[in-house]
Amino acid sequence: MSEKVREFKYVSYLWDDAKAASLEGDEVALLLYRSNLLGADLRLTNYGGGNTSCKVMMPDPLTGAETKVMFVKGSGGDLGTLKRSGLAGLYLDRLLALKKIYRGLEHEDEMVALFNHCIYDLDSKAPSIDTPLHAFLPFNHIDHLHPDAAIAIAACKDGEQINRELFEGSIGWVDWQRPGFDLALKLEDCLHKNPGIRGIMLGGHGLFTWGDTAYESYVNTLEVIEKYSAYLHEHFGKSKPIFGGVKGTSLPGEKRKQQAANLAPVLRGFCSSHTRMIGHFTDDERVLEFINSQDAERLAQMGTSCPDHFLRTKICPLVLSLAPDEDLNDTEQLKEKLSPAFTAYRAYYEKYYEDHKHANSPAMRDPNPVVILYPGVGMFTFAKDKQTARVAAEFYINAINVMKGAEAVSEYVSLPLQEAFDIEYWLLEEAKLQRMPKPKPLSGKVALVTGSGGGIGRAIAEKLAAEGACIVLTDIVPERLSASLAELQQLFTKDRVMAVKLDVTGTDTIAAALQEVCLGFGGVDIIVNNAGLSISKGLLETTLGDWDLLQDVLVKGQFLVSQAAVRIMQRQKMGGDIVNIVSKNALVSGPNNVGYGSAKAAQLHMSRLLAADLGGEKIRVNVVNPDAVIQGSNIWANGWAEGRAKAYGISVDELPAYYAKRTLLNETILPEDVANAVFALTGGLLNKSTGNVLNVDGGVPAAFVR
């Protein structure tokens, strides 16, 4: 078997003979295995891009007769994680029969609905637009991928000629055409005219390759892409410098991050003029090479080529004309400087829409840029959620790779704007968007919860994440933080949850943490000051150390975190929420509570003062007053439970029932109850309330706000 293993330099050969042998005889399993290997190497295809298929004889459930069935990746999903549930299984003879009723190019979209009449496997995923492209090629195994190296040839001026010479005619060529039934017929025609070819290049789009077996298709695909890659590498920097040569240099790494974090909230504000956006930042070296080059501005304006690229990144990025080390601190000055660029971009997009729309085109979508390039610093991307923003960045890096390759061997050619528009506003694409789930109440928002390594803070973070927010967990104890992070990422994906170590009493660590947040999500919208501790002592036992610690963590902590967050909120200019987790003890006098109760009262009054300060900027400041949350709470450590039990003359075990009984509702208060209150204040229904206190204590009349 070892003679099978080929040497590859630019792609990863991952085929495991033993693994494949264990799947022998199950062509669908082999298809999935091959697809996962292909999807694991981003040099082979972009995220979510491309599709694979196999054709296999199966018994017809109605007649028992053997019939040929094609299994092909269905609409959506990614090859790297493709499972059987992501495939569509269709009768091949029925798909081929569709050719007889096809009415021509202007009617090709109607064919998509007919694919459903060809379904063999009732558990099929919806068949994708690429289904006939696989059906009309008579090969058992087919790979359709979007490798940057191949698209570089597909998107250059002399692409067809280079392709012919490089493969001596063994890879066919079909000019750019929007994917659909008609393109499938063109592929079939190309094969008829060029019998014996090993693949077909689609101009401006991607590659089709195939084989009799899953393995043969895999190796053929790898060999072809390897050859494109090697060809590009031979040419990089040879006849001309990469991207026309270096124009500027990057700031040093740490400075880039500071500058990006400082700018991100301002950009986020601009990009959120229609819909609230989440940000992503990267200073990947491929991005820096591009944006620091002579040709960056010219190429960026030309727009991207592969449809996948511009669907994710918009037709072109916004290039900022700021010096890498520009002083970004004066918010108003900065906005004045940036505002014309955003106005011009939106106007450009509106014109693009107006110039290319058809009578039945969907309404214009958000005209703000998705990709923003800052020479010397890096690339920002903004989208309705973090995953989409991150993937947009990946796609723009794909586009950069394509432009780099195309310019090295020839001249980069972007797709004509009308073609780009017809894909972007394709009715089938619009239908896909309409099928997407409605956004949750906190979608597009970023929430930072202090002390969220466990207990109430973790419950709050989980609730806000469940309602759609991106979450920043913070805690002073690294082990608590990492445990909480792992759990919540499991529930809500790595994209949506990040963690930063934070000591709420230190300005430096607060600044460092918020820098991470701005780089991670572009800014912040909701601050929950929850970090706390408690000490139960009378006046004479309370030491100065006890007093200072409570004041530091509860009062100064709330002050410092709010101050740092409001600076970011002001730069975004999108309002915001501060929710302070205070306590019934802010209002009720009890024994042995002088230090804690005083600090809680200060937190409460500070909340009202901040509400008065920040209302003009639509930043709401509200308070949740819980009482006696025992489960999972940190404050019951440090002898607090014993202290309270002693103060009431009962045992520690009797505390929960004691607390429940003294409430009007006779309820035990759980962390989730406090979390629900935070959501109630931030979820949108109470947007006209600030300076409020919401009790979550089962009803304690002494703590009613008078």
Positions that interact with Zn ion (CB under 5 A) = 206
The smaller minimum CB distance to Zn ion, of residues 109 and 487, is found at 109
Chain mean position to CA 44: 21
Q: Which residues are catalytic?
A: 596
Phi, psi torsion values for 88, nearest 5 degrees: -110, 135
**Core vs surface per residue 476-512: b (16+ CB within 10 A) or e:** beeebbebbbebbbeebeebbbbbbbbbbbbeebbee
Q: Shortest distance, CB of residue 150 to Zn ion, whole angstroms?
A: 11
Q: Shortest distance, CB of residue 314 to Zn ion, whole angstroms?
A: 19
Q: Shortest distance, CB of residue 416 to Zn ion, whole angstroms?
A: 18
The smaller minimum CB distance to Zn ion, of residues 128 and 282, is found at 128
Q: Shortest distance, CB of residue 154 to Zn ion, whole angstroms?
A: 11
Distance of alpha carbon 265 from alpha carbon 383, whole angstroms: 14
Distance of alpha carbon 699 from alpha carbon 706, whole angstroms: 14
Is residue 135 a contact partner of residue 95, using CB atoms and an 8 Å limit?
A: yes
Q: Shortest distance, CB of residue 449 to Zn ion, whole angstroms?
A: 42
| Paired residues of 9 in beta bridges | none
With vertex at residue 34, the alpha carbon angle to CA 29 and CA 36, rounded to the nearest 5 degrees, is 95
Q: Shortest distance, CB of residue 606 to Zn ion, whole angstroms?
A: 56
Compute the chain's Rg from CA coordinates.
30
The smaller minimum CB distance to Zn ion, of residues 145 and 397, is found at 145
Distance of alpha carbon 76 from alpha carbon 33, whole angstroms: 18
The smaller minimum CB distance to Zn ion, of residues 203 and 468, is found at 203
The smaller minimum CB distance to Zn ion, of residues 199 and 206, is found at 206
For residue 122, the tally of other CB atoms under 10 A from its CB is 7
Residue found under tokens 């050859």: 227
The smaller minimum CB distance to Zn ion, of residues 206 and 595, is found at 206
Q: Shortest distance, CB of residue 206 to Zn ion, whole angstroms?
A: 5
Q: 97: closest CA among 117, 80, 127? A: 117
| Paired residues of 164 in beta bridges | none
Distance of alpha carbon 620 from alpha carbon 622, whole angstroms: 6
Task: State which residue has the least CB distance to Zn ion.
Answer: 206
Distance of alpha carbon 380 from alpha carbon 375, whole angstroms: 11
Q: Shortest distance, CB of residue 50 to Zn ion, whole angstroms?
A: 6
With vertex at residue 517, the alpha carbon angle to CA 512 and CA 519, rounded to the nearest 5 degrees, is 95
The smaller minimum CB distance to Zn ion, of residues 178 and 662, is found at 178
Three-state SS for 55? strand
Is residue 145 a contact partner of residue 225, using CB atoms and an 8 Å limit?
A: yes
The smaller minimum CB distance to Zn ion, of residues 206 and 626, is found at 206
Distance of alpha carbon 484 from alpha carbon 426, whole angstroms: 43
Distance of alpha carbon 148 from alpha carbon 490, whole angstroms: 32
Tokens of 604: 């409460």
